[in-house]
């Protein structure tokens, strides 16, 4: 890559982020070393069937995750992304993360493909609320049904509206920067291809090669914040 490539050279930037971006904040990835799903079985804690079977057990787990994530702060990578967006309001952020760290760094209009651990929803009366109370004081909606975390669990479908918002940003982008995602889960895995078809320049920031690396003309192999710094 030309050493001179800079965010300022592009007009419509999409940041596509995954668990690797939050590693420097102290939040482990799922699949990597120290990943959550080596320690816990997702079938007991992160799917609708588990929730229907034992909602309090699933909430205990999510209360712990909220406490752990709430104790972490956005890192330099989140801040650089928020700064780029502040400079150029057409910048879009599509994340697979549920931790809310983009917003805590000052970013806006974040497309959260997999939902947010800071939102709860009632599937009986279709209410959605923001909630950062940890632990969640009232686990039931006023209608009597348990609130559930508004995150996309294993086997859940993504929300159509969210996927459409992501696709809209992708077909318009001229720079696509993937950061810290192994991009193996669809439809997220298709997103770099959409950007490629739109003619965007593609950069992959990841210390390791991924299954999607062949799509990117510009690999930056290293941790998120240090690599993002080279593009300022
Ligand atoms: P993943 O665990 O499959 O992959 C993480 C990627 O990050 C890997 O390719 C790894 O090489 C890379 N990585 C590790 N350290 C890095 C660093 N310092 N800088 C840059 N990259 C680094 O995660 P995924 O692809 O995001 O998919 C797993 C699913 O689980 C997604 O839905 C994801 O968002 C969710 N998840 C979210 C969080 C969070 O909200 N912080 C944490 C874990 C998992």
Mutate to test the pocket of ligand 1, among 30, 80, 156 (most ligand atoms within 8 A of CB): 30
- Which of the 8 DSSP states describes residue 198? T
Q: How far is the CA of 19 from the centre of ligand 1 (A)?
A: 3
Superfamily of domain 28-71+115-151: SIR2/SIRT2 'Small Domain' (3.30.1600.10)
Give me the pLDDT at residue 30, please.
77
Phi, psi of 219 (to 5 degrees): -85, 135
Domain ranges of the chain: 1-27+74-114+158-232, 28-71+115-151
Give me the pLDDT at residue 182, please.
87
CA distance 120 to 73: 21
* C-beta contacts of 217-222 below 8 A and 24+ residues apart: 217/1, 218/1, 218/5, 220/1
Ligand 1: residues whose CB is within 6 Å? 18-20, 22-24, 27, 29-32, 96-99, 114, 179-183, 185, 205-208, 210, 223-224
Within this chain, domains 1-27+74-114+158-232 and 28-71+115-151 share the same CATH topology: no
**CB within 8 Å of 203: residues ≥ 6 apart:** 1, 175, 176, 177, 178, 216, 218, 219, 220, 231
3-state DSSP assignment of residue 16: strand
Residue with tokens 């992959």: 204
Give me the pLDDT at residue 220, please.
97
Which ligand 1 atom is the nearest neighbour of the CA of 208?
11
What residues does 151 pair with on adjacent strands?
115
Which ligand 1 atom is the nearest neighbour of the CA of 152?
32
Give me the pLDDT at residue 102, please.
98
Residue range 134-179, pLDDT digits in tens: 999 999 999 999 999 999 999 999 999 999 999 999 999 999 999 9
**CB within 8 Å of 74: residues ≥ 6 apart:** 25, 82, 101, 102, 104, 105
> Is 62 labeled as catalytic in the residue annotation?
no
CA distance 8 to 134: 39
Helices (H) and strands (E) in the chain, counts: 9, 9
Catalytic residue among 78, 114, 214, 218: 114
3-state DSSP assignment of residue 219: strand
With a cut of 50, list the residues of the chain below it in pLDDT. Answer: 1-2
Bridge pairing between strands 115-122 and 13-17: unpaired
pTM, 2 dp: 0.95
Give me the pLDDT at residue 186, please.
83
Give me the pLDDT at residue 97, please.
97
User: What CATH code is assigned to 1-27+74-114+158-232?
Assistant: 3.40.50.1220
């Amino acid at each position: 890559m030309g050493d001179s490539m800079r965010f300022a050279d592009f007009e419509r930037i999409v940041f596509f982020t995954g668990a690797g971006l939050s590693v420097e904040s102290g939040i482990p990835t799922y699949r990597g070393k120290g990943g959550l799903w080596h320690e816990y079985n997702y079938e007991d804690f992160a799917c609708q069937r588990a929730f229907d079977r034992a909602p309090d057990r699933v909430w205990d787990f999510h209360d712990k995750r909220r406490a752990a994530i709430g104790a972490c702060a956005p890192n330099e990578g989140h801040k650089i992304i928020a700064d780029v967006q502040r400079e150029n309001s057409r910048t879009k952020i599509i994340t697979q993360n549920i931790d809310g760290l983009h917003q805590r760094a000052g970013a806006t209009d974040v497309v959260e493909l997999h939902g947010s651990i800071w939102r709860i929803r009632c599937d009986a009366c279709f209410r959605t609320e923001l909630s950062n109370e940890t632990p969640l004081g009232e686990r039931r909606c006023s209608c009597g049904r348990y609130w559930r975390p508004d995150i996309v669990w294993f086997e859940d479908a993504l929300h159509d509206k969210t996927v459409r918002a992501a696709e809209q940003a992708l077909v318009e982008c001229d720079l696509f920067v993937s950061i810290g995602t192994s991009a193996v889960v669809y439809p997220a895995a298709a997103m770099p291809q959409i950007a490629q078809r739109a003619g965007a320049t593609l950069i992959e920031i990841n210390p390791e090669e991924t299954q999607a690396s062949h799509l990117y003309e510009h690999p930056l192999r290293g941790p998120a914040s240090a690599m993002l710094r080279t593009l300022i």
